[in-house]
Structure 1
Amino acid sequence: MFRTTDIVLIMVMVSAAAFTYKTKHDAENQLAEVRRLQNQIAFEKDSIDVLNADWSLLNQPSRLQRLKETFTEELQLYPVQPYQFATISELPRRPLAIEDLIAGDGLIDEIATGSIIQ
């Protein structure tokens, strides 16, 4: 009836069919995962666009001006005066501590700020 080679070939065909089915099933699962991630990415991009639109709305100069006028007393916001600006030479030097020397590589910029060069 059946020879040994026939049985072996049938086993090989069944194994190949099972392997093909498993591979197809795994590929479909991966494709579903890719589609899910693509949908999630699209949703996040849309969310970012909405947040950017909200941010630009919240930062409109006219809105900020109205808020500033409404809350001037609470926030004490006043326009910057020209005398409030300082030059680098007018800024106080940062005190130099031994920990600063130990933490860094030992190079000190004495001319500009007295801080450790990073």
Structure 2
Amino acid sequence: MRALFYVLSAFAVIGLAVWAYDQNHRTQQAISEARELRREIRSLREALSVQRAEWAYLNRPERLRALAEMNFARLGLMPLVSSQFGQIDEVAYPGTVAPQEGSL
């Protein structure tokens, strides 16, 4: 009986060792993937900051004004003035009925 207990205990220890090794391997793999993802996120953030800087550089008002002036004949762009904007009460919202004159 004692020999059977020793054999079962040995198998239990071996099984636990295999399980612990597997868990360790999975943990190391997850840590490695997390490091790779962090590295990729860092490089994407750097690329995004470069693109934001380029966007800001290309959208400088003086540059856009010069481009609009150079291409005026082809594009026909005019400067914006405040009279080109509407009022909020002029916007027709779908599903609403416009108020009638004299109601309320």
Superposition pairs of residues 67-78 of structure 1, within 5 angstroms: 67-78=67-78
Structure 2 length-normalised TM: 0.76
Corresponding residue for residue 33 of structure 2:
33
Corresponding residue for residue 54 of structure 1:
54
Paired residues in the alignment total 96
CA distance in 2, matches of 1:87, 1:32: 56
Structure 1 length-normalised TM: 0.68
Corresponding residue for residue 99 of structure 2:
110
When the two chains are superposed, the root-mean-square deviation of aligned CA atoms in Å is 2.6
CA distance in 1, matches of 2:16, 2:85: 80
Unaligned runs of 5+ in 1: 95-99, 112-118
Unaligned runs of 5+ in 2: none
CA distance in 2, matches of 1:24, 1:6: 27
Corresponding residue for residue 65 of structure 1:
65
CA distance in 2, matches of 1:43, 1:19: 36
CA distance in 1, matches of 2:68, 2:25: 62
